[in-house]
Structure 1
């Protein structure tokens, strides 16, 4: 059996792990690289194996960095099945179609305004190519064994990260491989705690927050403070958010604050068509989250839901103080850019960063104190207040990751640490060794191992 790390090694994006066993090829996740240019350029490269020779893709969840390369895979000849949970299928469909639309729009804009370095800017994939992924999906139920081959089975179990997200236990060649996917928090606002593995010969563990702990602060109190201070100064609050789960978590917290009379009567706007569609996924998958139906209905009624871009323009030029939740979460694309073009140069504006910001993204640059940022080929001076609420991350912190390993009844042969930046990988490796005495390996991109 061979394992090859094609993505998500030494970085938090582009997750792809290839398993080869007795002529069968399985890809765990098929994510898109985001962030710095050197990573984004990897999206245009061919895989080290022909997509037509891959039999199955097992998808842990529907975020772009885990599913966003599927249109390229299918376009290059993949004809196999993509297994995932029902919410993951719905989310992946939303995210892939939205991503393709954004890429087509940005390529057209770059060609029209001539700011691309290429003679003709092209999208990584088109909406039509994204649509061709959908017939390959096969929905599975969590905690039920799936037979991929007479000697290969898989079981998906809740990982708590976003709705439908799972870890995957793969049994083959008398060995158990456990792929964590992204691990959620044990005390998340909306998601149930992750299911912990009880056995595993080889563990593949994400390490996004491997070097840090989430602060034990009151998230609602922080939101209340930033909103009231900004409104008192006549400003607008912009919350760049991942459209799935984080947007809904923020909505829920804002709804609670409003019910408690702690934030003012101003417009609260959700401007992400994908986030609005994700609300329907929450409504249709009650067993996957903690939000009671009556609270869900009341929460949605508090917000103005914007789908049409003409309403976006109208909202942007409305001078009234307001709270805007718009995608994307790392400010890499989407409608949040239109708001920032208008508001990032105003000192009364507050931008609240609420999730992990990968290296090279606009969100990371803002957190690091950038004096200006580039949007659609133009530089904009940053005068807005940039605040971070770490307590809203959908990723488990170091303690959550260590705790996820706590129920193992056997000592794994190796723990491969993936989906993390260098310092996070190094620190988590030391902590696991110190606490459990497990051997940890930090694979390099493209590295292959015989198991």
Structure 2
């Protein structure tokens, strides 16, 4: 009997490493190809042999460009994948920036670890190199949103706008007359920069993200909190550090600070943007203005108000600058990037304020800070945490439980099965119970590397 096999190779029982293979008669399709982040046990999965014949994968479809959805692509190509990698034009532009930036960081960190001898591996190796990333980018192919695209006579797909970050979509697949819907990461209904997510109308099989499946984002005044923290920073002549994801959160924070300055609600405090990847993302916002709400003139004014750092020398000059200041630097979970240099130098100072503004995955430095860590490890050494740590949860780019349920509200049928993915165990189970109780749908929480067979 003919069947489709779904291979859950990531974001299954966890919130990271999104990878799903649909093995069908005569054609193998992959949805997302992310790397694992967070706890060591998960990160080690990245280095294991891929559990599916890579040369047998025909096409990869990307929901969006974040590393936990795209970061394994160069490894897959290196292991023999030779098909097309398809996404919306802004998703591919973001993915190119993220892969090249990550490759550079991988190479630099491996070199530093070998030079300073703080890695357990001899020698420490880059997870993927710039050359690997460039080879991967050559396989990119853009597809129009809202149009059906045919892969075979039995398989077609469509990308639908999903908020979250620029270019992000959910994917509708028509497989052998059944509709499979992969939610990707669902955005917010009232995002400052992006339009509300579209909603699916039909799903025979639904693959649903659950990042905040157990939470409702608080009703809090983001602007009031920012004004309060900035005033504290000015009074203490301190440094206000905002670790930020380079895509969307960086632009959102910049927009908020620019508006507050325009409205004269904050003083003329210097604002430094130290994110090489974020600087590259600006061009994507400028190129794809139809994907977001900011006008070209607003975007230009916003950038002019900020001090955009373009070299590592300027990073150190900013650290040594005695003025009260705001620094926005990658990465958002404090796993890498320029923010590590600032925190390494300033986290022991009580006049330093740290504001976390997005989801903090398990075992990341961001999560450790959130949970009250008294010291953090950077580049092989521990540093005491004397800085104040704050969180604005409502700036998350992920839908909360109520928004996820609203996203499901236009589905006219009862799916044959709903698979909950991209969530930590408590979030997955809370959303499972909520969907089961409120919608009476059949809900499944697949395990990592589980294979589910669907008869045709």
- TM-score w.r.t. the length of structure 1 is 0.99
Cα distance in 2, alignment partners of residues 86 and 175 from structure 1? 27
In structure 2, the partner of 1:123 is 126
In structure 2, the partner of 1:178 is 181
Asked if 1:316 corresponds to 2:323, the answer is no
Taking the TM superposition and a 5 Å limit, the aligned residue runs for 1:81-160 are 81-160=84-163
In structure 1, the partner of 2:429 is 426
Taking the TM superposition and a 5 Å limit, the aligned residue runs for 1:124-273 are 124-273=127-276
Instruction: Give ranges in structure 2 of 5+ residues lacking alignment.
Output: none
Cα distance in 2, alignment partners of residues 191 and 11 from structure 1? 26
Verify the 8 A CA contact 2:233 2:325 in the aligned structure 1: no
In structure 1, the partner of 2:69 is 66
Q: 1:252-271 CA distances to partner (integer Å, 9 max, x unpaired)?
A: 00001000111111210110
In structure 2, the partner of 1:78 is 81
- TM-superposed CA distance for 1:46, in Å, is 1.6
Asked if 1:326 corresponds to 2:325, the answer is no
Cα distance in 2, alignment partners of residues 438 and 292 from structure 1? 42
Q: 1:327-365 CA distances to partner (integer Å, 9 max, x unpaired)?
A: 001000000000001110000100000000000100000
- TM-superposed CA distance for 1:435, in Å, is 1.4
Asked if 1:374 corresponds to 2:377, the answer is yes
Asked if 1:303 corresponds to 2:285, the answer is no
Cα distance in 2, alignment partners of residues 251 and 220 from structure 1? 12
Q: 1:45-70 CA distances to partner (integer Å, 9 max, x unpaired)?
A: 12211211100000000000000000
In structure 1, the partner of 2:282 is 279
- Structure 1 runs of 4+ aligned residues shifted over 4 Å read none
Cα distance in 2, alignment partners of residues 432 and 23 from structure 1? 34
Cα distance in 2, alignment partners of residues 16 and 420 from structure 1? 14
Q: 1:75-101 CA distances to partner (integer Å, 9 max, x unpaired)?
A: 111000011001001100000011111
- TM-superposed CA distance for 1:23, in Å, is 2.0
Verify the 8 A CA contact 2:428 2:445 in the aligned structure 1: yes
- TM-superposed CA distance for 1:298, in Å, is 1.0
Asked if 1:363 corresponds to 2:354, the answer is no
In structure 2, the partner of 1:57 is 60
- RMSD value, Cα: 0.7
Please give the secondary structure, in 1, of the residue aligned with 2:323: coil
Cα distance in 2, alignment partners of residues 197 and 131 from structure 1? 34
Cα distance in 2, alignment partners of residues 338 and 347 from structure 1? 17
- TM-superposed CA distance for 1:385, in Å, is 0.2
**Number of aligned positions between the proteins:** 451
Cα distance in 1, alignment partners of residues 230 and 411 from structure 2? 44
- TM-superposed CA distance for 1:293, in Å, is 1.7
